[in-house]
Structure 1
Amino acid sequence: MQALTNGASTSIWQASASSPLFPQLARDIHADVCVIGAGIAGLTTAYLLSQQQKNVILIDAIGIGAGETGRTTAHFFPPDEWYANIEKSFGRKHAALVAGSFSAATTQVESIIRNEQIDCEFERLDGYLYALPANGFRDIGQELDAASRAGVTVHKLERVPGLPFDTGPCVQYPRQAQFHPLKYLNGLATAFVRKGGALHCGTRALEVDGDLTAQKVRTNGGTISADSVVVATNTPFNNRVVMHTKQAAYRTYVIGARVPKGSVPRILLWDTGDPYYYIRLETPDGASDHDMLVIGGADHKVGQDGHPEHRYDEIERWMREHFPMAQAVEYRWSGEVMEPSDGPAFLGRNPMDERNVYIITGDSGNGMTHCTIGAMIVSDLIMRRENPWAGLYDPARKVVHGLSEFVSEQANTFAQYGDWVTGGEVASVADIGAGEGAIVRDGVHKVAVYRDHRGDLHSCSASCTHLGCVVHFNSAERSWDCPCHGSRFDINGTVLHGPAGAPLRKVVLHARETEST
C-alpha cells in the first residue's frame, strides 16, 4: 500500500489513506470493456459494469485515486451553476433533470457503500448557500424558488446556523453528503476485483484506435482489444480538439486547518463571491480534541499563474477572518477541474462518430457527483439501456447557452500562442535558482528548464505535446502546466494530466547556455 499523487502537494486524503498496488499490464489482452482511469469515474463505471457480468479491464497510468479524485474536497452538493442559473439558461425541465441526476448519484454512492460495506466516513449532512452583497444572486430567493421548481427540498433561513459570523439569508439543502474519497475508491477497487475485474496500475494508455465493432488501446505494457472503451481521465486524451473547445481547465486550491472539536458545525457551505469559498469538516482518525476545517477556492486558469502560493495565503486570510478559532494550517494542496462552457458535464459517447468510445469529463466543481452520474450513464449506454439523463449530458451537444463564456475562453486560449514570439522568461539558465523552473529561448526554440536542489538541470521542449502551446512552470506543484488546455507534466516531461498523451521532448541545451551556469 502507498500514497500516489500527480503533484508536489499532498491532500489530507493522500496523507491519511494509502491505496493497494496492482501490477502493470504485461501482455496483450481482450476484454468486453476497457476503462481508462482509476479515479471515481473509472472505478464506478468498472464496478457497475462488473455487476452486469461484463468482462472489464481497468488501467491507470499511476494508481488508484492518484489523479484528481485524491485532490477533491469530496462533497456531494447542488450544481455549482446553481438551479437559478440552470433554469434561466435551459428551462425548468432541464433543471429538474439535473436535480434528479444529482440526487440519484448521491443515493448510488450510498447504496454501493452499504452493499459493499465500505468504511469511508460517508455522512449525510446539510448544505448551505449564502449570497455576499453585490455578488451572485442579489435575491437568494431566486435560487430557493428555482430549486423548489426543480423538485429539490430546500428551506430559506435567516442565517447559516452555528457559524461564528453572520452569513445573512441562505438556502438550506438538506441531506447532502461527504466522504473520504480514497477510502471509497479502495473499497470500490476491492469489490471490482472480487467480482472478477482486472485492474492494472502503472499502465498508461497511449492511443485508442478502432472501428464501430472493436477498439484497441495501446499501452506501455501491452495492447488491450475491447468491444467498448471508456476514457475516464478527467479530460479526454483521445479527443484532440473538439472537447477541448467546449471546456476550460482551472486550478483550484485547498487548505486544511485544525479547529477545536465542536467549534464548527458539520455542514457544507458555499458562498457566491468572486473568488468564492467553500468549506467542509473532516475528523482525522484518532483525533479526540480537534477537527480539520477544509476550505477551498481561489481558482485560476491552469498555467496562468506561475507562483500560485499566494492563493493559499488568500484562503487562509479568509479563514482567519471568518473562523478565528482556527489553529495551524496543516495541509495545502491544489487540483484541476474542467469547466464546461455551458454548465453541465460531458458524459456519454465521444462525439467523433465512435459509437463504442465513451468519455466522462467536465466535472466542474461537482466531481464526485458528475463522475458518478457519468458512470451510471455510460454503463447504461454500454448495456443498451435507456438513461433519463443521457441527452442532458451528451458530449456531442452544441454550446448554445453560455456562448459568451465559450467565446471568452477561446480568445484566452488563442492568446496563449503569442508566447512563441516573445523572449525567454530569463536571460540564461544561470538565472534559474535551485527548486525553480523557467522558459529559456534557445535559438528559435523555447526550452523548459528546471534546476533541482542539487543544482542539476532538467530540460525539455516547452511545446505542449497536445496542441503546441508554451508550458509554464507551476512553483507550487513543481510541474510544467499548459495554459491552453490544461495538460501538466513533471520536471522530466512525464505527463501528469491530459489531454496531452505524450511526454515533453527531452532537450540538450547548447554548450554556451550550459556554460553560463
Structure 2
Amino acid sequence: MKPLAVPGPSYWMQTVEFPSFGPLDAAAEVDAAVIGGGIAGLSTAWELTRAGLSVIVLEADRLAGGVTGHTTGKVTALHTAVYDTLRDKHGEEAARLYASSQSAALRHVVEVADELGVDCSLERRPALTYCEQPDGVEALRAEAEAARAAGLDASFVTETDLPYPVAGAVRVENQAQFHPLAYLRGIVDDLVAQGARIYEHTRVTGVDGGDPCRVTTASGITVRARHVVVATHHPLFDHAVLSTRLTQHRDLVIAGPLPAGQDIGGMYITEEGGKRSLRTTPLPDGQRLLVLTGEAFAPGTGEDTAAGYGRLHAWAEERFPGFTLNHRWAAQDNSSTDTLPLIGGLPTAGDNVYVATGFAGWGLTGGVLAGQLIASLVTGGQEPWAELYDPRRVGAAVRSATDFLKAQMDAGKHFVKDRLDTLGEGTNGPVAKLERGEGTVVRAAGKPCAVHRDDRGELHAVSAVCTHLGCLVAFNNAERTWECPCHGSRFGVDGEVLQGPALEPLEPRDPADL
C-alpha cells in the first residue's frame, strides 16, 4: 500500500466547475452583504435574494473552496449521537426543536434542488450511527429512544448493509446524500440570474455595525449594507467572544471506487477507532465511490496526519476488499461548547450583523438552516427555533460551563507549553535535520520561527506566532500547512492565510538567519 502524496482537491471540487468571479473593485451599497461563499453564505444569500433584497457575496478565495468543498455530502438530521446529549443538557423541547429544524433543512434541500432542476446526485437513504463493540450498545439504545422522542423516524437495529458485523445502530429513515457542489452550482446560477453580485478573492478585514453597516476589504474598498451576515466558518469580527465557545477539529477523507455490485445501502458513522464516517455516491460508469472520513484530530497539535491517512486507507482495504484509493483530502469543523450551532445576531457587532457557525461537522443541513433562519430574522419572520440557536443565549452556556472551561484551558496550555518546546531543539528537531517535506518550530533571534523544507530542499521560514491571538502554530506533515491549536487558523508554508479566524499572514523570516 503506497499512500498518495500531498492531498489534492476533493472529489466534489474535481467534478463540478464553478464560474469565476473577479474581486470587488468599487464601493457598493446593498440591502445585505454576505461574507463567505460556502453553503451557509450562499444559502443565506439565496434566501435573502428570493425575499427581494439586493445582495452582495464576498468570498476571500473561491466559492465553496473551504469547508463546504471538503465535506462528505450527507444531508441528515441524525448527527452521530446528539439527541441524548441535547435532552440531557437542554431538555426534551430543545431536542425536539433541533430535530424539526434540521429535518426542515433537509426537506428544503430536496425542494430547492427540484425547483431549480439541479442534478446533484441526490439520493434518499437511511442514516445510521453504529458501534462494533458491545459496550457501546447501551448508549445507542438511549440515542435511538431520544431521537424517536424528538420526532425522528428512529429505531435501534443490529443488522445493517455494511460488509462487517455491528453490535448495534441507531437508524433514521428517509435522509439524503448528494453532490454538495453540484447543488451549490445551481444556487450560484440562480443567484446571478436574480441579480445578486458575487465577488471572489475579496478578503473582508472589518465590519462596523450600524445602520448602515460598513464592511471593509483588504484592498480598502467599503461596502455599505443594512444587514451583514458573517458565514466564514469561524466567526470573524466577534472580538473573541464566540471564539471562546468553539472548539476545532479536523477529519481526514479518502475516496475511491468500490468493486462492481458493492454498496452499503445508507450513510454510516461511528465514533469508535478515531471516528469512521461512510457513504457512497454514483460514478458515471455505474460504480459507486466510497467516501470515508475519520482519524479526527485537533489542528495544530502536531498530529502525524500522514500516518492517519495510512490508517484510514488500511481500514478501507480491510473492510472493503478491492477498494482502490484515488482521492484524499481533509475537512475542518468547529463545535460549540454547548453542542448547539450559533445562528443569529453576532454579539457585540450591532443589531444588524448575523453569524452562522458551530455546525459540528453537520454543516450541510446546518448551513441551509442558517440561510432560512437568518433570512427570517432579517425580514421580520418568526421561526420557532430562533431562540434555540441564538448566539447570545445565556442559559445554555451556563449549563455547559465545564466544556467551556476545558476548551479555554486547552488553549492556555498550548499558549505556554508550545513556547517552552521551542526553547530546545525545536518542536520537530533542529532545522539542520529537517527532511524534505518536514517542518519544525524553533527559536531564531529569540523569536519562534516556523521552518519548512520543501521537496527541492529549500527552506521557507515565517513567524510561528498566529496572527489571530498569538498562539504558536504547528506543522501538518500531510497537508504541509501551519495550523494554530487555539482557534484553528491555517497557513501555507509561506505564511498565507488558508483558513481563519486569522486575517493576516504569518510574518516572513529570512532562512539565512536560522
What is the TM-score normalised by the length of structure 2? 0.93
SS in 1 for 2:311: helix
Number of residue pairs aligned between Structure 1 and Structure 2: 502
What is the TM-score normalised by the length of structure 1? 0.93
Please say if residues 345 and 351 of structure 2, whose CA atoms lie closer than 8 Å, have aligned partners that are also in contact: yes
- Cα distance in structure 1, aligned partners of 2:42 and 2:356: 12
- Cα distance in structure 2, aligned partners of 1:400 and 1:80: 24
* Correspondent of 2:342 among 333, 342, 346: 346
1:347-401: per-residue Cα shift (whole Å, max 9, x none)? 1110115111111110102110111111111111111211211110111123233
- Assess, with a 3 A threshold, how the Cα gap between structure 1 residues 421 and 172 changes in structure 2: closer, same or farther: closer
Corresponding residue for residue 386 of structure 1: 382
Corresponding residue for residue 402 of structure 1: 400
SS in 2 for 1:173: strand
Corresponding residue for residue 72 of structure 1: 71
Corresponding residue for residue 10 of structure 2: 11
- Cα distance in structure 2, aligned partners of 1:351 and 1:46: 21
- Assess, with a 3 A threshold, how the Cα gap between structure 1 residues 183 and 228 changes in structure 2: closer, same or farther: same
Please say if residues 133 and 166 of structure 2, whose CA atoms lie closer than 8 Å, have aligned partners that are also in contact: no
One-letter code aligned to 1:30:
E
- Assess, with a 3 A threshold, how the Cα gap between structure 1 residues 136 and 354 changes in structure 2: closer, same or farther: farther
Q: 1:102 offset after TM fit, Å?
A: 0.8
Q: 1:8 offset after TM fit, Å?
A: 4.9
- Cα distance in structure 2, aligned partners of 1:154 and 1:435: 47
Q: 1:432 offset after TM fit, Å?
A: 2.6
- Assess, with a 3 A threshold, how the Cα gap between structure 1 residues 139 and 81 changes in structure 2: closer, same or farther: closer
In the TM superposition, 1:46-125 aligns within 5 A as 46-77=45-76, 78-125=78-125
Please say if residues 437 and 449 of structure 1, whose CA atoms lie closer than 8 Å, have aligned partners that are also in contact: yes
- Assess, with a 3 A threshold, how the Cα gap between structure 1 residues 104 and 426 changes in structure 2: closer, same or farther: closer
- Assess, with a 3 A threshold, how the Cα gap between structure 1 residues 326 and 97 changes in structure 2: closer, same or farther: farther
Residue 307 of structure 2 corresponds to residue 310 of structure 1? yes
- Assess, with a 3 A threshold, how the Cα gap between structure 1 residues 486 and 135 changes in structure 2: closer, same or farther: farther
SS in 2 for 1:465: coil
- Assess, with a 3 A threshold, how the Cα gap between structure 1 residues 72 and 184 changes in structure 2: closer, same or farther: same
- Cα distance in structure 1, aligned partners of 2:208 and 2:275: 41
Corresponding residue for residue 219 of structure 2: 220
Q: 1:51 offset after TM fit, Å?
A: 0.2
Corresponding residue for residue 485 of structure 2: 483
- Cα distance in structure 2, aligned partners of 1:395 and 1:329: 41
Q: 1:421 offset after TM fit, Å?
A: 3.1
- Assess, with a 3 A threshold, how the Cα gap between structure 1 residues 434 and 322 changes in structure 2: closer, same or farther: closer
- Assess, with a 3 A threshold, how the Cα gap between structure 1 residues 447 and 51 changes in structure 2: closer, same or farther: same
Query: Structure 1 vs Structure 2: percent identity of aligned residues?
Result: 33
- After the TM superposition, which of the residue ranges 444-453 and 218-227 deviates more from structure 2? 218-227
The runs of 5 or more residues in structure 1 that have no matched partner are 1-6
In the TM superposition, 1:444-463 aligns within 5 A as 444-463=446-465
SS in 2 for 1:463: coil
* Correspondent of 1:299 among 293, 296, 301: 296
Corresponding residue for residue 366 of structure 1: 362
Please say if residues 35 and 230 of structure 1, whose CA atoms lie closer than 8 Å, have aligned partners that are also in contact: yes
1:156-205: per-residue Cα shift (whole Å, max 9, x none)? 33311x32222133222111111111111111111101100000111111
- Cα distance in structure 2, aligned partners of 1:383 and 1:156: 41
Corresponding residue for residue 170 of structure 1: 169
Q: 1:227 offset after TM fit, Å?
A: 1.1
Please say if residues 204 and 215 of structure 2, whose CA atoms lie closer than 8 Å, have aligned partners that are also in contact: no
Q: 1:110 offset after TM fit, Å?
A: 1.0
1:259-308: per-residue Cα shift (whole Å, max 9, x none)? 12331233111224252211100222x223x3111111211111113431
- Cα distance in structure 2, aligned partners of 1:9 and 1:71: 10
- Cα distance in structure 1, aligned partners of 2:278 and 2:398: 32
Please say if residues 437 and 450 of structure 1, whose CA atoms lie closer than 8 Å, have aligned partners that are also in contact: yes
Corresponding residue for residue 152 of structure 2: 152
- Cα distance in structure 2, aligned partners of 1:456 and 1:380: 53
- Cα distance in structure 2, aligned partners of 1:59 and 1:104: 27
Query: RMSD over aligned Cα, in angstroms?
Result: 1.9
Please say if residues 70 and 182 of structure 1, whose CA atoms lie closer than 8 Å, have aligned partners that are also in contact: yes
- Cα distance in structure 1, aligned partners of 2:135 and 2:18: 41
Please say if residues 203 and 221 of structure 1, whose CA atoms lie closer than 8 Å, have aligned partners that are also in contact: no
Please say if residues 135 and 272 of structure 1, whose CA atoms lie closer than 8 Å, have aligned partners that are also in contact: no
Please say if residues 248 and 487 of structure 2, whose CA atoms lie closer than 8 Å, have aligned partners that are also in contact: yes
SS in 2 for 1:47: helix
- Assess, with a 3 A threshold, how the Cα gap between structure 1 residues 202 and 53 changes in structure 2: closer, same or farther: same
- Assess, with a 3 A threshold, how the Cα gap between structure 1 residues 8 and 495 changes in structure 2: closer, same or farther: farther
- After the TM superposition, which of the residue ranges 389-398 and 126-135 deviates more from structure 2? 126-135
1:246-269: per-residue Cα shift (whole Å, max 9, x none)? 011111111113212331233111
Residue 133 of structure 2 corresponds to residue 133 of structure 1? yes
- After the TM superposition, which of the residue ranges 147-156 and 396-405 deviates more from structure 2? 396-405
- Cα distance in structure 2, aligned partners of 1:80 and 1:247: 18
Q: 1:411 offset after TM fit, Å?
A: 1.3
**Structure richer in helix, relative to its length:** 2
Please say if residues 464 and 500 of structure 1, whose CA atoms lie closer than 8 Å, have aligned partners that are also in contact: yes
